[in-house]
């Protein structure tokens, strides 16, 4: 959250990266085309044509996007994608990349697929920030994946070529429109709303808990009642 709160700096761009599987599903029976007054209809039977991997990155503050579709997800694809990211930011001193802790997401992927000098040069371009376990929702690329799922990947796409063509067209459209993401979950919000977890680490973190409006009102009423009773006793 502290990283997301920083002002935009083109020399230190903040990017959010992840990958997701996409399943290639075809129809066994041709669907009925959409007609006037009737929606398109498809048969429940389908065939599985394998799967592929969508790798994507977004710069939330500018709306920049980049995506690739591969037949598999290995360290090789990760290294290739990081090369593509670095090429898009030639003047950046460090590319701050938010990602999860997947076993392929580290610089070993560079050294296993590139000559040592190229791997070192690529590794020096990046500064990795890993989301905590079971907290991928902190990565803003998940918001982009949600949009892609609703607008493209929520239907049957039978081949790798068709999926690549359609999803990359949508990514480029959103890139051209410079659709940005305004992150609302601040560091203070985390310390307050997730306070029970902070307290488990250090009891002093209870000071960050923010009371709800109702709790504050009840507390104020209780304090007022105590003062009123005290004043009554003194008189």
How far apart are alpha carbons 11 and 4 in whole angstroms?
15
Confidence band of 193 (pLDDT split at 50, 70, 90): confident
Q: Please, what is the average pLDDT of the chain?
A: 88
Residue spans per domain, the chain:
14-29+42-176, 187-234
18 contacts: CB under 8 Å, gap ≥ 6 = 55, 56, 99, 100, 136, 139, 141, 142, 145
Q: Which class does domain 14-29+42-176 fall in?
A: alpha beta
Question: What is residue 73's predicted lDDT score, i.e. its pLDDT?
Answer: 92
Can you tell me the mean pLDDT for 171-192? 91
Can you tell me the mean pLDDT for 62-78? 97
* More confident site: 39 or 55: 55
Q: Reply yes or no on whether the pLDDT at 48 is more than 80.
A: yes
Residue 32 has a CB neighbour count (10 Å cut-off) of 12
* More confident site: 85 or 221: 85
Q: Reply yes or no on whether the pLDDT at 220 is more than 60.
A: no
Which of these ranges, 30-34, 50-54, 228-232, has the smallest mean pLDDT?
228-232
């Amino acid at each position: 959250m502290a990283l997301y709160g920083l002002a935009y700096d083109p020399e230190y761009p903040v990017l959010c990266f992840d990958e997701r599987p996409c399943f290639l599903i075809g129809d066994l029976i041709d669907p009925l085309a959409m007609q006037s007054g009737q929606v398109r209809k498809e048969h429940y039977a389908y065939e599985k044509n394998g799967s592929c991997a969508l790798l994507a990155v977004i710069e939330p503050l500018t709306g920049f996007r980049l995506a690739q579709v591969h037949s598999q997800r290995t360290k090789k694809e990760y290294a290739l994608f990081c090369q593509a990211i670095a090429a898009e930011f030639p003047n950046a001193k460090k590319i701050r990349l938010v990602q999860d802790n997947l076993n392929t997401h580290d610089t070993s992927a560079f050294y296993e697929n590139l000559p040592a000098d190229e791997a070192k040069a690529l590794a020096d371009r990046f500064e990795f920030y890993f989301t905590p376990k079971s907290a991928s929702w902190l990565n803003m690329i998940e918001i982009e994946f949600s949009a892609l799922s609703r607008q493209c990947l929520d239907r049957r796409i039978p081949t790798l070529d068709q999926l690549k063509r359609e999803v990359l067209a949508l990514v480029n459209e959103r890139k051209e429109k410079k659709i940005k993401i305004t992150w609302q979950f601040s560091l203070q919000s985390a310390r307050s709303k997730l306070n029970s977890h902070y307290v488990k680490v250090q009891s002093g973190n209870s000071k960050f808990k923010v009371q709800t409006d109702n709790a504050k009102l009840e507390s104020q009423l209780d304090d007022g009642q105590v003062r009123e009773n005290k004043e009554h006793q003194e008189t």
